[in-house]
Amino acid sequence: MNRTLGVLISGRGSNLKAIIDAIEHGRLDARIAVVISNRADAPGLVHAIRAGIETLVLNHKEYATREDYDRALIHELRKRDVSLVCLAGFMRLLSPVFVDAFPDRILNIHPSLLPKYPGLQPQQQALDDGASESGATVHLVNKDLDAGPVVMQARVPVLAGDTADTLAARILELEHRLYPAAIAAVLDGTQS
Ligand code: GRF
């Protein structure tokens, strides 16, 4: 596969920024062909614009069905020869149409040690569960939410007095190192 990435975001885009930085600093040998957001006001778009990367807004509300939206995404990604799709805070469920278009070629990052705490608010789930550690997982996306094969994980302790916000911040720092490393491993075919 080529080393052309498409990054999908919906919000802040700090993981996108970490991927851009890793490429710029030579820690990740890849090229981001396009950053697509489903929200025009996603703050993260600015990271792509500043780096001279093409951005595209595809508003899901303008499509009749989830599949129609996903077909539009596929079209834009294929047009740019993207071989690896990186979800970075993309808050949309992807249909089987999308997953089948990029088999084993879609990555997601999730702020927990999957299979623990999938879905929403995983940091709060970890606290509610009394977990002594949590972390981040980069995994391949399949048709089940947060359930695809794990590519890489990293751990952080849960500390006394942690709130969902303090735990999220500790995990996020880890995410920014983990995601570029996991992308490199997938591109190099060295992931476990
Ligand atoms: C991250 O915590 C990521 O693990 C989750 O959504 C958040 C996105 O943050 N999937 P950002 O937009 O990359 O800053």
Tens digit of pLDDT for each residue in 105-146? 999 999 999 999 999 999 999 999 999 999 999 999 999 989
For residues 118 and 148, give the distance between their C-alpha atoms in angstroms, rounded to a whole number.
11
Model-level pTM? Answer: 0.97
DSSP-derived secondary structure letter, 88: S
pLDDT the model gives residue 192: 58
Catalytic center residues: 110
Pocket flag, ligand 1, residue 111 (CB < 6 Å): yes
Pocket flag, ligand 1, residue 114 (CB < 6 Å): no
> What is the layout of strands, in order, in the sheet containing 84-87?
55-57, 31-37, 4-9, 84-87, 106-110, 133-140, 150-157
For residues 59 and 47, give the distance between their C-alpha atoms in angstroms, rounded to a whole number.
19
For residues 127 and 103, give the distance between their C-alpha atoms in angstroms, rounded to a whole number.
34
Pocket flag, ligand 1, residue 110 (CB < 6 Å): yes
**Dihedral, CA atoms, 114, 118, 120, 123, nearest 10 degrees?**
-40
| Residues recorded for the chain | 192
Of ligand 1's atoms, which has the minimum distance to the CA of residue 15?
A: 13
Of ligand 1's atoms, which has the minimum distance to the CA of residue 44?
A: 12
Residues of the chain short of pLDDT 50, as ranges, are none
